[in-house]
């Protein structure tokens, strides 16, 4: 079976070229750089087109290395220009990712798992049981596929930002670290720490590790300012309390030197009162952070309703008046179920026989 190139970081590739291809040591760095540049900066996926590499070596590489085994099988375009892609993986499972165009940037929202194990009550992804963690190549290929679709292989970088806010809990996937390393590699896709955001529902035991080994922006899906309310809508809070999260988030900001983004979906009559805003301000006072207030995106069968815009603005103003940064994130792509909390596929865990 061929080695999938997108599963290899730069050092892995050098090792593979040495041990499996027989490239001499003094040429390892050059060959790895040529392959990474052609793949991640020019979007090439056929060794025949790697013209900087000798023909004999290209033939040998073709025998032992494959490129991306994932493919886009459906594309849905929202009225606001947002694109949702259904990606079929090598094993037949499917996952969704989203491209969100804005005036000053273009963001790809990436999934890290097929399904999700966390069952947050307001999130459609949580209604699909966890099928599996995505491999490194299955994560990286989402960006590659979107860049291909947008013909984004020039210097302009249409895809300027990457957020791990799709299906799944990123910090529960051990492949996240290597995938992010490939995204950040200067020989590869070359996205800086400030162009990548990893979101977590609050896996407190993994946050310090992420600070030391990943180092990107971190977003916490908070959605409630106290344990009682958070446990009602996010069962993960029964295991990791808010005080535990605060301790770890303080550590994260001390290492990465950037504020935490607090994600807070506004649910009518649930977490949108001024009393909740007061509690949220007390929480925000404990570590460097900003809050994104998210319009709730409805989906079939959900019991929650979105907070009215005027009440979101009132909530946001209260936080700003207390001296903290609060932003209202408008919904994008909800007409094609591409908005925050709406991603889901029909993939199911296969029973072992």
Residue range 74-98, pLDDT digits in tens: 999 999 899 999 999 999 999 999 9
Give the pLDDT of residue 338. 45
Write phi, then psi, for 243 (nearest 5 degrees). -65, -35
Q: In the chain, count of helices (H) and strands (E)?
A: 10, 14
Share of the chain above pLDDT 90, in %: 83
Rounded CA-CA distance 2/136 in Å is 15
- Whether the pLDDT of residue 34 is over 60: the answer is yes
pTM (2 decimals)?
0.93
Give the active site residue among 97, 116, 123, 340. Answer: 340
Told to judge if 123 belongs to the known catalytic residues of this protein, a careful annotator would answer no
- Whether the pLDDT of residue 345 is over 60: the answer is no
12 band by pLDDT with thresholds 50, 70 and 90: very high
Told to judge if 96 belongs to the known catalytic residues of this protein, a careful annotator would answer yes
Give the active site residue among 96, 138, 263, 295. Answer: 96
Q: Which of 134, 148, 135 is nearest to 189 (CA)?
A: 148
pLDDT, average across residues 258-271:
97
Rounded CA-CA distance 71/283 in Å is 43
Adjacent-strand bridge partners of 97 = 85
336 band by pLDDT with thresholds 50, 70 and 90: low
Q: Across all residues in the chain, what is the average pLDDT? A: 92
- Whether the pLDDT of residue 30 is over 60: the answer is yes
Give the pLDDT of residue 337. 57
Rounded CA-CA distance 188/36 in Å is 5
Share of the chain above pLDDT 70, in %: 93
| Residue keyed to tokens 């910090």 | 171
299 band by pLDDT with thresholds 50, 70 and 90: confident
pLDDT, average across residues 195-222:
97
Give the pLDDT of residue 349. 56
- Whether the pLDDT of residue 351 is over 50: the answer is no
- Whether the pLDDT of residue 339 is over 50: the answer is no
Q: Which of 237, 243, 225 is nearest to 291 (CA)?
A: 225
How distant, in Å, are the alpha carbons of 73, 171, 260, 338 from that of 149?
Answer: 12, 28, 32, 17
Rounded CA-CA distance 74/277 in Å is 40
């Amino acid at each position: 079976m061929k080695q999938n190139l997108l599963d290899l970081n730069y050092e892995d590739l050098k090792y593979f070229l040495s041990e499996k291809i027989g490239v001499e040591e003094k040429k390892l760095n050059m060959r790895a750089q040529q392959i990474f540049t052609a793949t991640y900066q020019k979007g090439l996926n056929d060794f025949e087109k790697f013209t900087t590499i000798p023909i004999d070596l290209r033939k040998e590489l073709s025998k032992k290395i494959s490129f991306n085994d994932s493919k886009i099988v459906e594309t849905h375009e929202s009225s606001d220009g947002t694109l949702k892609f259904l990606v079929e993986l090598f094993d037949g499972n499917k996952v969704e990712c989203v491209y969100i165009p804005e005036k000053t940037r273009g963001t790809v929202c990436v999934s890290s798992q097929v399904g999700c194990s966390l069952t947050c009550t307001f999130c459609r992804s949580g209604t699909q049981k966890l099928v599996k963690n995505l491999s490194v190549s299955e994560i990286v290929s989402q960006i590659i596929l979107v860049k291909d679709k947008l013909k984004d292989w020039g210097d302009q970088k249409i895809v300027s930002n990457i957020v791990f806010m799709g299906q799944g809990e990123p910090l529960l996937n051990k492949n996240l670290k290597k995938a992010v390393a490939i995204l950040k590699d200067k020989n590869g896709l070359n996205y800086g720490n400030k162009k990548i955001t990893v979101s977590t529902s609050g896996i407190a035991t993994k946050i310090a590790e992420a600070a030391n080994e990943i180092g990107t922006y971190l977003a916490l899906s908070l959605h409630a300012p106290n344990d009682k309310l958070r446990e009602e809508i996010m069962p993960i809070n029964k295991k990791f309390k808010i005080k535990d999260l605060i301790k770890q988030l303080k550590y994260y900001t001390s290492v990465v030197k950037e504020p935490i983004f607090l994600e807070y979906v506004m649910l009518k009559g649930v977490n949108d009162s001024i009393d909740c805003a007061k509690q949220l301000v007390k929480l925000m006072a404990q570590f460097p952070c900003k809050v994104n207030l998210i319009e709730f995106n409805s989906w079939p069968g959900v019991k929650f309703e979105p907070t009215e815009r005027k009440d979101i603005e009132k909530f946001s103003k209260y936080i700003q008046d207390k001296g903290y940064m609060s932003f209202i994130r408008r919904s994008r792509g909800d007409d094609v179920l591409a908005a925050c909390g709406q991603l889901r596929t029909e993939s199911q865990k296969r029973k072992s026989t």
